[in-house]
Amino acid sequence: MPARILDGKAVAAELRERLRGDVADFHRRTGITPHLAAVLVGEDPASAVYVRNKRRACEQAGIKSTLHHHVAETSQAEVLNLINRLNTDADVLGILVQLPLPEQIDQQAVLDAVSPLKDVDCFHPENVGLLMQGRPRFAPCTPAGVQELLLAGGIETEGAHAVVLGRSEIVGKPMAALLMQRGRAADATVTVCHSRSRDLADITRTADILIAAIGRARFVTAEMVKPGAAVIDVGINRVDERLVGDVDFEAVTKVAGAITPVPGGVGPMTIAMLLGNTLRAARLASE
């Protein structure tokens, strides 16, 4: 029996509709419109699409969105000056730095420069530390989106063995941190695998929940999946002008119990979580 499809697009649409009401209510009570500033450096086509989608989602939710687009040759000093101006701009309540940045710019230095109170991507060391302590100021967007998708799909996480493929600062590490916390869509036993992990398939076949976030197209094969497991594909890769994930979808869907598609799975959830974090930043600023 084919795996059940976890439709991130549909779940995200419900979350965004609910958020639209929350934003309107917040504005009625405070007179404040949440404002997200996006920083885009360079002409990377994928980044431009991501930012455009995020800005469109902001508009639909009643969130003000401003784009600061600079050419690829922009210096690190110029980007840091922009971040400083946005940090001190009382009207701007959330800051999004679209990654990747051009090679002449120290990405970590830029992310560290964003005010932790406006860091709606949850990349700042202060916010990462709070996350690790189980008291997050903001939830990291993609991992939090995965959690919401698991909840919506009725995937039991308590006591389940979750295997995360990838140890990136953006997805792998925070995903593991969220799943091992106490609470909703959490309380899992978590294993993190990476490029140095031995006997990888032996590990992934023990997973009740397998989360692939390694950036290698169709890397996860049917032989690596436990029958009936929930498979969450975070990867986005372009192959022959098509978007595909880190999971061999056609083969794995015959083994898994539930699976996310690419596109239409985790991606829309990430944007929904970003909007939620922007509203949270506005609430924190109004306190």
Q: What CA–CA distance (Å, rounded) separates 164 from 209?
A: 8
Structure tokens that stand for 273 in this block: 């979580």
Distances (CA, A) of 32 to 16, 21, 54, 270: 19, 14, 20, 24
For residues 14, 17, 18, 20, the Cα torsion angle rounded to the nearest 10 degrees is 160
* Catalytic annotation present for 121: yes
* Catalytic annotation present for 54: yes
Q: Which of 98, 119, 147, 233 is catalytic?
A: 98
User: Which residues share a beta bridge with 238?
Assistant: 243
Q: Which of 54, 118, 173, 226 is catalytic?
A: 54
Contacts of the segment 21-30: beta carbons below 8 A, 24+ positions apart: 22/279, 23/61, 23/62, 23/63, 23/279, 24/62, 26/279, 26/282, 26/283, 27/62, 30/286
Residue 63 dihedral angles phi and psi, to the nearest 5°: -100, 130
Q: What CA–CA distance (Å, rounded) separates 11 from 141?
A: 15
Structure tokens that stand for 229 in this block: 């497991």
Q: Which of 118, 119, 121, 246 is catalytic?
A: 121
Cβ neighbours for 121, distance < 8 A, ≥ 6 positions apart: 96, 97, 111, 138, 140, 141, 274, 277
Active-site positions?
Answer: 54, 98, 121
